[in-house]
Amino acid sequence: MADENKTLTAVSDSELDEQMLLMEIRQPMADEFNWSDFVAIGFSHHIEIITKAKSLDARLFYIHESATRFWSKYTLRDYLKADLYNHRGTLPNNFTTTMPSTKQALKAVNAFKDEYLLDFINIEELDAQDEDLNERVLEKSIVDNIKRFILTFGQDFIFVGNQYRLEVSGEELFVDLLFFNRELNSLVAVELKSGKFRSSYLGQLSTYLSALDTYVRKPHENPSIGILLCRDMNQSFVEFAIRDYDKPMGVVTYRATKDMPERLRNALPDIEELKKLL
């Protein structure tokens, strides 16, 4: 009976953590808005936000982020274009059950979006290769545009390296992309996949995280986090597949400009016209 009560308590605590996390992720309502944020940013920021963010909650979000994170007008434009408000904190993940605290899980959820616009990727080149070559093309595109990728990826990321080598019991492992996030105080391993999510990818990523925590992570750092970046996923299936892993992992997707609906592509400025203006 005591063991049964202990199990029930553990389940309740886990559910409570998830409820607290969802409450924290909720965006502030208008009557909770800090007006000091409003006056902390410039007129040009407000024009960008008013013209490109359609809902009041979205506008309040971008005002707060611009004020507290000291975004330039151009950084704000990039996040508006990537629709950060609607993609932040919704990636399928197991953070609440694998991280040491709800606060840390919250930080991790807010650090990543569920989808990234990688407009520097050549989709025609990517689709013309087999899977392994596609992933090399994807990796090269990101490394060649690493500053743009980090700006798209999020705040406080530092690039450590690509094809980061690990050795475990004489076996070599290579992490596609390795970052360190200052806010999370964690290494972040990013595994790149050119196609749709497969459950087997999680086992590979979990192995990388075990090796990073054993051989690379510093004593003062939090456990390493894994992000699987793929072209497409069934979110319900991902949530089912990831839930029993004991390493913190999330799955996100990416798209290029040519993956977007035609009406949205037509709304974007032509690259040649931009070059002329510049």
Residues 6+ apart with CB under 8 A from 74: none
Mean pLDDT of 167-177: 96
**152 Rama class: left (phi>0) / alpha (psi -120 to 50) / beta:** alpha
Length of the chain equals: 278
In this prediction, residue 125 carries a pLDDT of: 66
**HEC profile for the chain?**
CHHHHHHHHHHHHHHHHHHHHHHHHCCCCHHHCCHHHHHHCCHHHHHHHHHHCCCHHHHHHHHHHHHHHCCCHHHHHHHHHCCHHHHECCCCECHHHHCCCHHHHHHHHHHCECEEECCCCCHHHHHCCCHHHHHHHHHHHHHHCHHHHHHHHCCCEEEEEEEEEEEECCEEEEEEEEEEECCCCEEEEEEECCCECCCHHHHHHHHHHHHHHHHCCCCCCCCCEEEEEECECCHHHHHHHHCCCCCCEEEEEEECHHHCCHHHHHHCCCHHHHHHHC
In this prediction, residue 152 carries a pLDDT of: 86
Domains and CATH numbers, the chain: 2-88 (no CATH), 95-262 (3.40.1350.10)
In this prediction, residue 245 carries a pLDDT of: 96
Specify the pTM.
Answer: 0.68
In this prediction, residue 259 carries a pLDDT of: 53
Quote the tokens at residue 88.
């932040």
Q: In this model, does residue 264 exceed pLDDT 50? A: no
Beta-carbon neighbour count of residue 186 at 10 Å? 24
In this prediction, residue 13 carries a pLDDT of: 52
In this prediction, residue 265 carries a pLDDT of: 44
* Biggest distance spanned by C-alpha atoms of the chain: 75
In this prediction, residue 74 carries a pLDDT of: 82
Q: What is the pLDDT of residues 224-239, one digit of tens each?
A: 999 999 999 998 899 9
| Residues 178/190, Cβ–Cβ less than 8 Å | yes
Lowest mean pLDDT among 98-102, 122-126, 173-177, 262-266: 262-266
Quote the tokens at residue 121.
């990727």
> Which of the given ranges, 23-37, 144-158, 262-276, has the highest pLDDT on average?
144-158
CB-facing half-sphere around the CA of 60: CA atoms within 13 A: 13
Mean pLDDT of 148-154: 88
Beta-carbon neighbour count of residue 260 at 10 Å? 15
Q: What is the pLDDT of residues 56-75, one digit of tens each?
A: 888 888 888 788 767 788 87
In this prediction, residue 11 carries a pLDDT of: 42
Q: In this model, does residue 268 exceed pLDDT 70? A: no
Q: In this model, does residue 85 exceed pLDDT 90? A: no
Q: In this model, does residue 77 exceed pLDDT 90? A: no
- Rounded to whole angstroms, the Cα distance separating 249 from 224 reads 9
| Residues 141/118, Cβ–Cβ less than 8 Å | yes
**Nearest by Cα to 256 from 243, 267, 245, 265:** 265
| Residues 190/177, Cβ–Cβ less than 8 Å | yes
What rounded mean pLDDT belongs to the chain?
80
Beta-carbon neighbour count of residue 177 at 10 Å? 23
Q: What is the pLDDT of residues 185-210, one digit of tens each?
A: 999 999 999 889 999 999 999 999 99
- Rounded to whole angstroms, the Cα distance separating 106 from 75 reads 23
In this prediction, residue 172 carries a pLDDT of: 97
